[in-house]
Amino acid sequence: MQSTRSIRWIVASLMLISVVALAWQQLGMNVSVRIDAATHWSLTASNDKASGGASEATLSREGQKLVLHCKLAAGATPAHCGLDAEIGKASRGYDFSRFDRIVARLGAQGATPPQLTLRLNSTRRDGVAGARPSELPLPADGEIEAPLGALQVPQAWLDAQKLDATRRAIEVSNVTLVQLLLNGEPGDYTLTLDSLELRGKAFTLGEVALAVVGLWMLAGLAYLVFDLRVLRRQLLALQERDARLKELNNALQIETATNDKAPRRDPLTGVRNRVGMRDDLLREFERARSEKTPLSVVCCDIDHLSTINESHGQPLGDEVLVAFAQSIARRVRSSDLVVRWADDEFFLFCPDTSYESGLALAEKLRSIVMSHDWPKHLGVTASFGVATLSEEPIADCLARADAALFNAKQNGRNRVEGLVRNR
C-alpha cells in the first residue's frame, strides 16, 4: 500500500512537472536581443566605400530613437549605407538558433522609396572563414514582425563562394554583426529606428519535450531498479523464511510439506499440536529476531503419569492429561502457545517473556498443578524446564528447555529448572 501511494505521488509529480515545463516553454522562457538608442552594443554607421561607392552616412541618437542620415551616391551597385550593431567578436558571437521572430519599429524616407534589408553576419568560431550573411527584406515603415526562418543567404554571396546546394543553409549560431541596410537611387535618405528586436526561447519546444521524455524515462528506469531491488529483498526474505521454516519443521519433527488439512489441535486435550502451532511460532520467532524481543520456552510434563495409568487405568490417565492441559491453558496469556508435544510432555512458547519471567511463570504453573483437585484425590505434580531464545536456531533453544526439564526430574521432580545458553 505504501509503495502504491509512493508511485502515485511520483507519477502525479512527473505529470505536474511535465505540464509546467511545457506551459513555461510556451508562455515564458523568453530571451531577446534588442537594438535601440539605449543599447549597450557598439553602434556605427556604414557605407559602400569599401566596394567602390561614394555614399556617406552618419548615425545619431535623437531622444529614444536612432537616426541614420544617408547620402547615397552612384558608384557601388547598389548604393547603400547602413546601421551596424556589433554584438560579438569572431569567436564569441551570439547564438540565434533558438530565436524565431524579428520585431522592428522603424521608418525610412528619401528621394525615392528606399529598400531596407536586415543582415545577420555569422562567423565560424575558429575564425577560419569570413562572415556568412543571412538577409531578410523589410518594409520601409511601420511595425514589423517576421519569422527568423525567412532569412536567406544572398545568392550573390553563394555564387561568389562557389558553394554547392548542401552548404547553402543559413547560419546564425555565431552572429557577430547585425546590419540594417538601406539602398536606393542616389539622394538623401533618413532611417529612424525605434527598436529592432530578435526574440526566441531559451529552450525550444522540442528540447523541452525531449527533457520531459528523458525525465519520464529516467523515472521509469529508477523505478525498475528500485523494483528489482525490492523483488530481490523479497526473494531473499522468502528464502530466509523457507530456511527458517525447514529449521522449525526439523525442530518440531514434522514434515515440511504438511497437508493444510492436517489436524491443528490435539484431539484429546484440545490444545494445539506441533502442526497447529508451527506458523504462529515461526511468526513469533521472526519477530523476536527482528525486534530483539525475548521469547521464552517452557517444557513440562506430568510426574509419574505412567504409574497413574498402570494403577488406575488409561481412562483416568487421559482424564489427568486433559485436566493438566486445560489448567495450564487457562492460566497463560492469549498470546502464549500451549502445545502437546508428546504423550505427557507439553511446551509453552511465551513471546515478550524474559528468562526470569519464564521461570516465574513455570513456578506459578507448578504450584497450580500441585494444588489442583485431582480425581480420586491423586497427588499429581509436574516438572518444568525453562530456556530463552538467544542468537541460535530454535532447535537449540528447544533442546535446552528439554535438558532443563531433565534436570528437574533428576533433581527430585515437582520443580522448575532453567538453562541459559553458554556464550
pLDDT attached to residue 338? 94
pLDDT attached to residue 301? 94
Q: What is the SS3 assignment for 14?
A: helix
Question: Is a pLDDT exceeding 60 seen at residue 183?
Answer: yes
Domains of the chain, by residue range, sit at 1-29+208-239, 30-202, 253-418
pLDDT digits (tens, 9 = 90+) for 309-331: 999 999 999 999 999 999 999 99
Which range is most confident: 21-25, 71-75, 137-141, 304-308?
A: 304-308
Joined together, the cell numbers standing for residue 169 give 543553409
Cis amide leading into 114 (omega within 30): no
pLDDT attached to residue 257? 47
Per cent of the chain over pLDDT 70 is 89
Q: What are phi and psi of 212, to 5 degrees?
A: -65, -45
**Partners of 142 in beta bridges:** 106
pLDDT attached to residue 260? 59
The CB-side HSE value for 303 (13 A sphere, CA atoms) comes to 21
**Partners of 143 in beta bridges:** 105
Using CA atoms, how far residue 409 sits from 244, 404, 413, in Å, is 31, 9, 4
**Of 193 and 74, more confident:** 193
pLDDT attached to residue 307? 92
pLDDT attached to residue 1? 53
**Partners of 74 in beta bridges:** 76
User: What's the angle, vertex CA 41, arms to CA 36 and CA 44, rounded to 5?
Assistant: 80
Which range is most confident: 47-56, 274-283, 377-386?
A: 377-386
d(CA 374, CA 280): 32
Which range is most confident: 35-44, 154-163, 256-265, 407-416?
A: 407-416
pLDDT attached to residue 250? 64
Domain 30-202 sits in CATH 2.60.120.430:
yes
d(CA 338, CA 326): 10
pLDDT attached to residue 321? 94
Which segment of 40-54, 70-84, 259-273, 345-359 scores lowest on mean pLDDT?
259-273
pLDDT digits (tens, 9 = 90+) for 242-275: 666 566 666 555 554 455 567 788 999 999 988 8
pLDDT attached to residue 421? 86
**Of 91 and 369, more confident:** 369
Sorting pLDDT into bands at 50, 70 and 90, what band is 58? Answer: very high
30-202 and 253-418 share one fold: no
Which segment of 109-123, 232-246, 268-282, 307-321 scores lowest on mean pLDDT?
232-246
Sorting pLDDT into bands at 50, 70 and 90, what band is 148? Answer: confident
pLDDT digits (tens, 9 = 90+) for 186-206: 999 999 999 999 998 888 888
Question: Is a pLDDT exceeding 50 seen at residue 127?
Answer: no
Across all residues in the chain, what is the average pLDDT? 87
pLDDT attached to residue 376? 87
d(CA 312, CA 380): 13
- DSSP assignment of 69-123 equals EEEE-BTBSS-EEEEEEE--BTTB-B--TTEEEEEEEEEEEESS--EEEEEEEE-
pLDDT attached to residue 165? 60
Q: Name the architecture of domain 253-418.
A: 2-Layer Sandwich (3.30)
pLDDT attached to residue 130? 60
pLDDT attached to residue 164? 67
- DSSP assignment of 18-71 equals HHHHHHHHHHS-EEEEEESTT--SEEEEEESGGGT---EEEEEEETTEEEEEEE
d(CA 134, CA 151): 6
